[in-house]
């Protein structure tokens, strides 16, 4: 676990090095993606935090396997784009093959685009398809959580079910690169970046 910003903690989990994020406001915590439950549950308990929401950037197995245990004993329903229902179903079939032990089976609510509020968190949901059809990115306090849409100097893969290279590039160009240049991007894999850094250094984007 690493503290990325004053109120944002990153957990890089599993053989896929998937980033999960905990965002804290007062004693409340919002979780973005949950690969494996126990590191996040331990963190929440140790810091006496109250879990108020879980948002899933997409339905791939390495982003969702910990959700069931994370939300156990709460009434929280994670949020996912409806176009990734298929990804959840696939993940339920393949999770063991990919080395996970937690079955990704849970109830969730659908989200499309727009602003939502979860407790003290104001969240803007942006639909950024391409890595999967239902991939979303989130803006919280001017920070972009990009899931597997864009990485530092790279992009998400598009060769899996529901992936489409042109759609991904359009999502990045039309919805991410247009954000203010100083926007910090926290991706689903790898290190932090900014919109400005990607404009200059991402080989998949020629602005
Ligand atoms: Zn993915």
- Domain positions in the chain are 2-201
Strand 28-32 and strand 50-55: the pairing is parallel
189 and 18 Cβ atoms separated by less than 8 Å? yes
pTM of structure = 0.97
pLDDT value of position 169: 97
Over range 87-96, report the average pLDDT: 98
Whether 207 shows a pLDDT value over 70: the answer reads no
Question: What is 2-201's CATH number?
Answer: 3.60.15.10
Closest CA to 26 of 5, 7, 12, 1: 7
If you measure from the C-alpha of residue 91 to the centroid of ligand 1, how many angstroms do you get, rounded to a whole number? 11
Say how far apart CA 205 and CA 198 lie, in whole Å.
8
Q: How far is CA 197 from the centre of its chain?
A: 20
If you measure from the C-alpha of residue 42 to the centroid of ligand 1, how many angstroms do you get, rounded to a whole number? 25
If you measure from the C-alpha of residue 3 to the centroid of ligand 1, how many angstroms do you get, rounded to a whole number? 23
Q: How far is CA 75 from CA 4, 69, 78, 97, 162, in A?
A: 28, 12, 10, 30, 30
If you measure from the C-alpha of residue 148 to the centroid of ligand 1, how many angstroms do you get, rounded to a whole number? 5
If you measure from the C-alpha of residue 26 to the centroid of ligand 1, how many angstroms do you get, rounded to a whole number? 30
If you measure from the C-alpha of residue 24 to the centroid of ligand 1, how many angstroms do you get, rounded to a whole number? 24
If you measure from the C-alpha of residue 59 to the centroid of ligand 1, how many angstroms do you get, rounded to a whole number? 7
Q: What is the pLDDT of residues 148-193, one digit of tens each?
A: 999 999 999 999 999 999 999 999 999 999 999 999 999 999 999 9
pLDDT value of position 37: 98
- 116, HSE (Cβ side, Cα atoms, 13 Å): 16
> Model confidence at 206, in pLDDT bands (50, 70, 90)?
confident
Average pLDDT value for the chain: 97
Token pair, residue 205, equals 């984007």
Whether 42 shows a pLDDT value over 70: the answer reads yes
């Amino acid at each position: 676990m690493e503290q990325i910003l004053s109120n944002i903690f990153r957990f890089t989990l599993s053989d896929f090095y998937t980033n999960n994020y905990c965002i804290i406001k007062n004693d409340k915590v919002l979780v973005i993606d949950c690969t494996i439950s126990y590191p996040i549950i331990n963190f929440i308990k140790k810091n006496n935090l109250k879990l108020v929401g879980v948002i899933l950037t997409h339905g791939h197995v390495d982003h969702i396997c910990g959700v069931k245990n994370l939300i156990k004993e709460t009434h929280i329903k994670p949020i996912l784009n409806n176009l990734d229902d298929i990804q959840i179903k696939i993940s339920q079939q393949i999770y063991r093959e990919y080395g996970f032990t937690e079955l990704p089976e849970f109830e969730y609510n659908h989200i499309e685009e727009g602003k939502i509020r979860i407790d003290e968190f104001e969240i803007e949901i942006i639909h950024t398809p391409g890595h999967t059809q239902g991939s979303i990115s989130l803006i919280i306090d001017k920070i972009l959580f990009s899931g597997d849409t864009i990485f530092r100097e790279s992009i998400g893969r598009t060769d899996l079910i529901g992936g489409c290279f042109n759609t991904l590039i359009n999502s990045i160009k039309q919805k991410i690169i247009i954000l203010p240049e100083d926007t910090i991007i926290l991706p689903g894999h790898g290190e932090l970046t900014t919109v400005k850094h990607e404009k200059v250094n991402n080989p998949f984007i020629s602005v």
